[in-house]
Structure 1
Amino acid sequence: MRNDAPVDGSFCASAQRLGIDSGDAAVLYLDARHAACTIDGFSAGARVRVCAQGRSTIAQLNLVHGGILKPDHAGLSELAWRRLGALDGCELRVQPAPSPRSFPMVRSKIYGQDLSVDAARAIVGDIAAGLYSDIEIAAFITACAGKRLKVDEVFALTGAMVQAGTRLEWPGTPVVDKHCVGGLPGNRTTLLVVPIVAACGLTIPKTSSRSITSPAGTADAMETLAPVALDTARMRRVVEQEGGCIAWGGAVDLSPADDILIRVSRPLDFDGEATMVASVLSKKLAAGATHVLIDIPVGPSAKVRSEAAAESLSRMFLAVGRAYGLSVRTVISDGRQPVGRGIGPALEALDALAVLRNHPDAPQDLRERALALAGELLELGGKAEAGAGLAMARATLASGAALRKFEAICAAQGGMRVPEAGARRYAVLAARSGQVATVDNRHLARVAKLAGAPQDPGAGVLFHAPLGRPVRVGDVLYTICAESPGALARAVSHAAAHPDIVGILES
């Protein structure tokens, strides 16, 4: 060690904003010639704690060559820059990041020990603080995958996720919420359920996610209609004024550790029953809900593949919800095909608008699915007697009250706009005559993503071939919409490589 080197192994550098979007990872960029690398042994991939102006964050160290940075400067990714509130030229102090003290508890779980309340809090707290690397997070996810967690452990994990973030409280009860476990393209019922339920007088502060691997999350679709990045104070004003909102949960810091776990788990394709329940219920508890409706679509290419798996998942939701005093109801629904016609942010939003406006050409499957869920929620929240919720929801939609409430919510969130679909189109045609027998939800969603969704809001797929529909050679099965020729070409190529995305049984 050099005589002038700090005993904590730290060094200082001047901050430089590079304008690099590194996604969910905070990154510190250092010239490979910097003394910290050549003398002190800092290497690429190391985790470091970066401090500036009274703030700190954990970041990954990346090395750059070719004179992009001055030897005495350090660059910050956009996420790191925001977390530190840094200014160009301000002093950064960088030191090795401490190893997470809770990781031995992850090892214990891997070797079969139960996850205690204290262990769950320690692990989730360290993950939320950025002390875990992605590989350590993946180890924790793997330790919890499948059926490795008991109900008591899911209870502990749920509570730890709530504790790590903001928790909202609302005057009076009930406060209702709904969630779909996912796997169905175009299933944008929230944009309909929230205004129907709020128009009937229930409080529904709906926080939703952006897409991680799907063509659109609810927040993506809603953002084509109105602002969704509401802070806590703005969200509270909207709910107090209109009885409901449709906001992006990331802006109010609800269960932030869960967002990190989702980011790492999705590429692994681990959607374990226990972690799904903890993920969903932690966000509902954090949002202040007292009554929660869970939609569980079941289908061969949905997230939940069998009735047995759906029943098991339902029992777990009910048990953990009950342990936290939540009134939870589950609905097992048809997940064999997309819902509505649009798949992608603007296309799904346009479907929802058509239903709210009672347009005769609105997708009836989306309409009926949303009405059924709204009816269940009205009964769960005590606004309708058992068996009467569907009629109340239907009357609220037909009268225009739901549309007026939706417009008012959009205005309160910052103003309503009407989205536009991508102008570049390609129609995928039936190669044979017969009847639509199967739909591959996953590959259809992949086509929509390759077309540009959700990054390009107008991109995606218009679906025209529901199960049971008779088709002839040359009929349009689905239309790909894109905003750029390159994205359209990629989507068309994938569709051509998977001609049975819509399976036709020849007659």
Structure 2
Amino acid sequence: MRARALPIETGGEAMVFMHEDCPVARSEGFRARARVEIVANGHTLLATLYRATGELLADDEVGIPHSLLDRLSLEDGEELTVRHPQPLSSLSNVRGKLYGHRLAEPGLQAIISDIAGGRYSDVEIAAFVSGFAAQPVDVEETAALTRAMLAAGDRMQWPADRVMDKHCVGGLPGNRTTPIVVAIVAAAGLSMPKTSSRAITSPAGTADTMETMAPVALDIPAMQKVVEREGGCIVWGGSVNLSPADDVLIRIERALDIDSDAQLVASVLSKKLAAGSTHVLLDLPVGPTAKIRNSQGADALTHLLETVGTQCGLKIAAMQTDGTQPVGRGIGPALEAHDVLAVLGNKDSGPADLRERALALAAGLLELEGTSRNDARAAATSLLVEGHAEAKFLRICEAQGGFRTPGKARQTRDIVAPRPGRIAAFDNRRLARIAKLAGAPQRAAAGIVLHTRVGQMVERGEPLFTIHSESRGELDYAYTYAARNEDVVRMEAP
């Protein structure tokens, strides 16, 4: 058959199209949503088949999105072969997981290898993700999943005997400490090659925010050059093939809006190990509307992370932090980047809570490396106040491809206080929902800017937060949701 290039964006899912009257499809029994294998130029691709009607395709053509043509080194009109794929034996393990069975390491390695190789459909990956989300966490199974995810990708090595890293488990809008922490730790002379994820269920991930200031899609040689030159970097983990199954799983988790503890731990630790990290500090925000709701949940996750990390050869420390309200003012990639730059620049507009949290985490990493607690805090503060951290961050940006100023949205609208009162609480989850309805993280400048904090007194009509959006339609969606959910910012009588 012949390839036909289609201007279609599939969001990462491998899908191809054939005409409903295609004789090959009929003779081979290819039905809609069947899995097919495309072979061309020595490359193979597993994809989900969909059927087309009308004049979109001739009956001897296979419609293929441009991104998949590139993976096949295929040009529009070139010949290809379509065939049935070999059965996936690892799917029996997924079915076992759905029925409540624990998976041993060989079964997990088979599943992760097939996922990383693009042999699973989105439906099959969703079944695997759901199986873990529906069952209590098992330490040995989680460690096996971590090793399986590590084995599926590349692994970096560094000359330093201590390679620092930090990770926040998420669930707290605006908690964008990583760029500040990396800058401080690298300015202290330590090695911190940071790989970060894009957003899963939040309005921004560290990679999304960093991308508004510098390129993040670096390959391993480019990443190594940045770290050799500046001691640290902040790059997107999906571009360096360090845990290739992880970004596939994240894409499905985002669609399902779930993030199980076992897969969270395996995701975090496999990427830390693959990046060559030896010492990892974990930020666990705790609050009634954060991902971790209470100290008991934080203790359980800390134990799981530390136990699995120790089994895999990592030195782990965890820090439980305040998750009762968002950190900083901005929620959304560019808005969070503006906060980061203000803190690094020691500007009066820099959010005090973001500054304090970043300093605590940077000091925690210095302490984990061996510095005394008092000296670690003093060193971190000095590096920030004296401008060394800002200078290091800008050099990292330049080494990654050049610094750029984060953008600003074209549309804004205030949500105001309906009455006078005191700010009692924020609903982190619904604030994040508003920022996502406004377009974040896909539209980098979209999101929310907060004007109030817990405990602050406000007057009737005073702005509580401002919605930022790139389009009127998205702004209206976000505003309508916010207006219908007044208690997203809970107020008490003065």
> What secondary structure sits across from 1:388 in the alignment?
helix
Whether 1:228 and 2:228 are equivalent positions in the alignment is no
**Once the two structures are superposed, what CA deviation does each residue of 1:277-315 show, in whole Å capped at 9, x if it has no partner?**
111101111111101111111111111111101100000
Match of 1:24 among 1, 12, 28: 12
Of residues 277, 283, 288 in structure 1, which corresponds to 2:276?
A: 288
2:85 maps to amino acid: A
- What are the superposed Cα offsets for residues 38-84 of structure 1, whole Å, 9 maximum, x if unpaired? 33221110111111111111111011111111221111123322321
Partners of 2:140 and 2:87 in 1: CA distance: 28
Q: Which residue of 1 aligns with 2:179?
A: 191
C-alpha separation in 1, matches of 2:364 and 2:158: 22
> Equivalents in 1 of 2:480, 2:130: separation in Å?
34
CA distance in 2, matches of 1:411, 1:322: 35
Superposed counterparts of 1:18-417, under 5 Å: 18-145=6-133, 148-382=136-370, 384-417=371-404
3-state DSSP of counterpart to 1:211: coil
Q: Is the 8 A contact 1:59 1:80 kept in 2?
A: no
* TM-score (norm. length: structure 2): 0.97
Q: Kindly indicate whether the alpha-carbon contact (under 8 Å) linking 1:215 and 1:460 is maintained by their aligned counterparts in 2.
A: yes
| AA aligned opposite 1:165 | G
Residue 244 of structure 2 aligns to which amino acid in structure 1? P
CA distance in 1, matches of 2:378, 2:438: 39
Conserved? CA contact 2:169–2:284, under 8 Å: yes
- The alignment covers a number of residue pairs equal to 494
User: Among 404, 408, 427, which residue is 1:421 paired with?
Assistant: 408
Q: 1:458 to 1:113 in 2, by over 3 A?
A: closer
Give the alignment partner of residue 460 of structure 1, picking from 433, 447, 453: 447
Evaluate the alpha carbon distance shift between residue 109 and residue 457 of structure 1 in structure 2; reply closer, same or farther with a 3 A threshold.
closer
- State the shift of 1:338 in Å: 0.7
Distance apart, 1:445 and its partner CA: 1.2
Q: What are the ranges of 5 or more consecutive residues in structure 1 without an aligned counterpart?
A: 1-12
| 1:161-207 deviations in Å (ceiling 9; x for gaps) | 01111211111220111110001111110110000000001101111
Give the secondary structure class of the aligned counterpart of 2:81: strand
Seq. identity, %:
51
2:445 is the alignment partner of 1:445: no
Deviation at 1:146, TM superposition (A): 5.1
- Note if 1:476 corresponds to 2:463: yes
**Counterpart Cα distance in 1 of 2:404 and 2:41:** 40
Pick which of 337-346 and 443-452 moved more: 443-452
Instruction: Indicate how the Cα distance of structure 1 residues 447 and 149 shifts in structure 2: closer, same or farther if over 3 A, else same.
Output: closer
> In structure 1, how many angstroms separate the alpha carbons of the residues matched to 2:134 and 2:382?
43
Q: Secondary structure at 1:213's aligned position in 2? A: coil
Contact 1:206 1:244 in 2 (8 A): yes
Aligned-partner SS, 2:464: strand
Q: Which runs of 4+ in 1 moved over 6 A?
A: none
How far apart, in 1, do the equivalents of 2:131 and 2:209 lie? 34
Q: Give the drift of 1:115.
A: 1.8
- One-letter code of the match for 2:251? R
8 Å CA contact retained: 2:286, 2:293: yes
Distance 1:240 1:424 in 2: 41
Counterpart Cα distance in 2 of 1:440 and 1:322: 35
Cα separation, 2, equivalents of 1:270 and 1:360: 38
Query: Residue 300 of structure 1: SS of its match in structure 2?
Result: coil
Alpha-carbon deviation of 1:147?
5.0
Contact 1:47 1:60 in 2 (8 A): yes
Distance 2:145 2:229 in 1: 34
Q: Which residue of 2 aligns with 1:434?
A: 421
Q: What letter matches 2:400 in structure 1?
A: Q
**CA apart distance, 1:104:** 1.7
Match of 1:10 in 2: none
Asked if the contact 2:200–2:253 (Cα under 8 Å) also holds between the matched residues in 1, the reply is no
CA distance in 2, matches of 1:394, 1:188: 18
RMSD between aligned alpha carbons? 1.4
